[in-house]
């Protein structure tokens, strides 16, 4: 089953037609761009979870894909990543077809997707081994990041916001911040308490951006084998947060805490359920604590050499 990493002959495109911006013209254009270089199969997802199963099936075949292209947003990327767990033969290529598209931004910056696909096949792109995390309480893979408090609450507001693209998350996040009440929390990094007290959010990653536009973890590296965490405490007025995190200037504020480690636990200390999300999906029925353990270099991805600077493989 081993194949040279430079072998780009078989492509599987997985597209989620319900994601924010993955309409038929985009899916067809992606298929054509790949088919110009390699044998290309397309799978259009039919339900939640289908992306994971289709990737697992394809990777178990006698001639598995060497490139898995996902057309969707961060939720679809996460499902595909779950299906690629442990692969050594396929590399992920993300095409932004969702709403926030934070994973695409982490790997390619603001480059148009067609340029990114061209860069992969022309040898201008690089492969990276992206760090992932495991959310132990629900046994799920985390790709972009996970967050408690106001970021998780914003996902409910987004459902009711009649806008599209990143503007939708901008409005939803502002509304969630205006309505937010801090919760009593604790964040522990490799067994040491980083912060305990009134908490607005604790974001663990992963990706530097959330919602495609908020630079919550400006210091995060894609492949350093560690997770980053930022805690914004109740000392910061929640209505100031959208402006502060737009360019990462929250890091200089009193009441903001930043850490890095292999295992990060986010807790609510009054016994109430923690409001928590990962990869843009709210978790139902959470426990009072959530623990993320790093899976260093777990995912082979294609990326822009400058945006995703670091050692290639």
Ligand X SMILES: Nc1ncnc2c1ncn2[C@@H]1O[C@H](COP(=O)(O)OP(=O)(O)OP(=O)(O)O)[C@@H](O)[C@H]1O
| Residues lying near ligand X in the complex (CB under 6 A) | 16-20, 45-48, 50, 72-76, 79, 98-101, 280-281
Q: In the complex, what is the shortest distance from the CB of residue 56 to ligand X, in angstroms, rounded to a whole number?
A: 15
Q: In the complex, what is the shortest distance from the CB of residue 22 to ligand X, in angstroms, rounded to a whole number?
A: 8
For ligand X, give the closer residue by CB, 20 or 205.
Answer: 20
For ligand X, give the closer residue by CB, 87 or 99.
Answer: 99
For ligand X, give the closer residue by CB, 79 or 304.
Answer: 79
Query: Is the bond preceding residue 68 a cis peptide, omega within 30 degrees?
Result: no
Q: In the complex, what is the shortest distance from the CB of residue 240 to ligand X, in angstroms, rounded to a whole number?
A: 24
Q: In the complex, what is the shortest distance from the CB of residue 225 to ligand X, in angstroms, rounded to a whole number?
A: 25
For ligand X, give the closer residue by CB, 95 or 189.
Answer: 95
Residue among 210, 223, 271, 212 nearest 232 (CA): 210
Separation between Cα atoms, residue 160 and residue 210, nearest integer Å: 19
Q: In the complex, what is the shortest distance from the CB of residue 198 to ligand X, in angstroms, rounded to a whole number?
A: 28
Q: In the complex, what is the shortest distance from the CB of residue 100 to ligand X, in angstroms, rounded to a whole number?
A: 4
Beta-carbon contacts of 295 under 8 Å, excluding residues fewer than 6 positions away, are 131, 132, 133, 134, 141
- Burial class for 24, CB neighbours closer than 10 Å (0-12, 13-18, 19+): exposed
For ligand X, give the closer residue by CB, 79 or 153.
Answer: 79
For ligand X, give the closer residue by CB, 76 or 220.
Answer: 76
- State the residue number with the nearest CB to ligand X: 73
For ligand X, give the closer residue by CB, 65 or 75.
Answer: 75
For ligand X, give the closer residue by CB, 188 or 213.
Answer: 213
Separation between Cα atoms, residue 144 and residue 146, nearest integer Å: 7
Helices (H), ranges, the chain? 24-35, 50-59, 74-83, 102-108, 113-122, 150-159, 165-179, 241-246
DSSP string, 40-79: EEEEE--STTHHHHHHHHHHTSSS--SEEEEEE-HHHHHH
- Burial class for 126, CB neighbours closer than 10 Å (0-12, 13-18, 19+): buried
Q: In the complex, what is the shortest distance from the CB of residue 82 to ligand X, in angstroms, rounded to a whole number?
A: 10
Q: In the complex, what is the shortest distance from the CB of residue 102 to ligand X, in angstroms, rounded to a whole number?
A: 6
Distances, alpha carbon 129 to alpha carbons 191, 262, 286, 311, in Å: 26, 16, 30, 9
């Amino acid at each position: 089953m081993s194949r040279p990493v430079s072998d780009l002959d078989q492509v599987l495109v997985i597209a989620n037609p319900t994601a924010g911006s993955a309409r038929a013209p985009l899916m067809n254009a992606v298929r054509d761009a790949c088919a110009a270089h390699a044998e290309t199969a397309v799978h259009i997802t039919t339900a939640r979870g289908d992306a994971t199963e289709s990737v697992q099936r394809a990777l178990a075949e006698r001639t598995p894909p060497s490139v898995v292209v996902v057309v969707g947003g961060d939720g679809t990327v996460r499902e595909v990543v779950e299906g690629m767990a442990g692969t050594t033969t396929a590399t992920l290529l993300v095409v932004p077809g969702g709403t926030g598209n934070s994973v695409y931004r982490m790997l390619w910056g603001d480059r148009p997707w067609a340029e990114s696909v061209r860069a992969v096949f022309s040898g201008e792109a690089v492969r990276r081994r992206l760090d992932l995390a495991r959310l132990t309480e629900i046994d799920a893979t985390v790709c972009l990041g996970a967050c408690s408090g106001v970021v998780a609450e914003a996902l409910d507001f987004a459902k009711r916001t009649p806008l599209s693209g990143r503007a939708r998350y901008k409005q939803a996040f502002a509304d969630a911040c205006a309505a937010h009440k801090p919760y009593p929390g604790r964040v522990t990094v490799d067994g040491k308490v980083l912060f305990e007290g009134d908490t607005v959010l604790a974001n663990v990653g992963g990706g530097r951006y959330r919602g495609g536009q908020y630079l919550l973890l400006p210091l995060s590296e894609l492949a350093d084998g560690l997770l980053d965490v930022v805690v914004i405490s109740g000392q910061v007025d929640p209505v100031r947060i959208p402006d502060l995190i737009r360019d990462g200037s929250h890091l200089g504020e009193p009441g903001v805490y930043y850490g890095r480690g292999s295992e990060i636990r986010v807790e609510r200390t009054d016994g109430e359920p923690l409001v928590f999300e990962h990869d843009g999906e709210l978790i139902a029925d959470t426990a009072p604590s959530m623990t993320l353990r790093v899976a260093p270099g777990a995912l082979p991805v294609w990326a822009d050499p400058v945006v995703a600077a670091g050692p290639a493989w």
